[in-house]
Amino acid sequence: MINEQRVIQHFMDLVQIDSETKNEQNISKVLKEQFAGLGLYVYEDDTMNETGHGAGNLVVTLEAEGVAGVEGVEPMLFTCHMDTVTPGQGIKPELGEDGWIRSDGTTILGADDKAGIAALFEAIRVIQENNIPHGKIQFVITVGEESGLVGARAMNPKDIDASFGYALDSNGAVGTICVAAPARAEIEMKIYGKSAHAGVNPEDGISAIQVAAKAIAAMKLGRIDDETTANIGKFQGGSALNVVCDFVQIDAEARSIVQEKIEQQIAQMREALETTCRKYGATAEFRSEIKYPAFGFHDDHEVVQLAQRAIRSLGLETSTFASGGGSDANIFNGFGIPTANLAVGYEDIHTTKERIRAADIVKLSQVVIAIVQETAKGK
């Protein structure tokens, strides 16, 4: 049923449309035209002013058709993001004799996540061409995923009518399912010391750099446990070499698959900062924000079981894993819509060595169709 040449060519066409994050206007226009050309209802939300990105999120609806007792078939969603990381301008995709698609080496490829988008379009075409019965399906194509899930985070949950869903945006072999991903907190710490001449009267100063170093040494960082990590990403402070530094800013993050653990990690880092500052006479400011929630499913959850039934029906192997990174699936789970993240097959994403097998785009299209068919059974 899959038109292999069509889906691969569509992917090649999509990656040649510049869409670095915050500059999604061109790809959004093309996607809206293509979805509408297939007869789907296309809605672009009004989040552009809030996010500062080049477009709003697209919520595209394919109404139920050909399913007996449609009321019993749960509405579902598939989601991908339209933006890419840099360098993503002037991408020149090349299909090698080995079956891998790569860029020319000067840019990323953009399989993250345009392989997912191409697979969704092919699935829609095949469903329509073969009159495959299906329930209501929404295709949510977000902006700003690569900027910290800002598009999905800005969405109004009321725009979505789905009981469950799948993101097409995970690493791993096609058939693999990401069933858990961490919450992520951004942390900003400021330390105010006291300046003094470093050679004449250093004892009259309070070095914010020294205080910061001692505070960081008291923090639990790196791999905390199997479910939790924390990292200092940026350290800024100081001016002249002969001046005791009176200000330092530390930017950090914490992640955990367990919501309670990320809260505990944030509290530990705050306690380390404030205790150290009190001890050495400095002043501290601490700010944290959980940017997106964690999610996790057991393998017996129906959103996982349904996908695995569909994948096995294609003769593909399937397995599950927990990721250390977030995706738009985190946001939809936070909306109360159980959403697992399906592996796309891309490799070396976010680098100029990014690549994907052409065959994996075909397989991913087949997986989407199989999930739609499994859902239409109404189990």
Catalytic residue positions?
83, 145
To which residue do tokens 């009259």 refer? 204
- Find all residues with CB under 8 Å of 247, minimum gap 6, and list them: 190, 191, 192, 193, 208, 237
| Beta-sheet strands, E only, within the chain | 41-44, 58-62, 76-81, 94-95, 100-102, 137-142, 164-170, 176-181, 183-192, 222-225, 228-237, 247-256, 283-292, 295-296, 319-322, 339-343, 355-357
Helix, coil or strand: residue 280:
helix
Exposed, middle or buried, 201 (CB in 10 Å: 0-12/13-18/19+)?
exposed
Residue 300, phi then psi, degrees to nearest 5: -90, 5
CA separation (Å) from 168 to 59, 61, 117, 234, 325?
15, 17, 8, 31, 14
For residues 145, 118, 18, 168, the Cα torsion angle rounded to the nearest 10 degrees is 10
- Tally of CB atoms within 10 A around 261: 19
Give the residue from 146, 94, 156, 83 showing the smallest Cα distance to 117.
83
Helix, coil or strand: residue 378:
coil
To which residue do tokens 């052409």 refer? 358
Residue 366, phi then psi, degrees to nearest 5: -65, -40
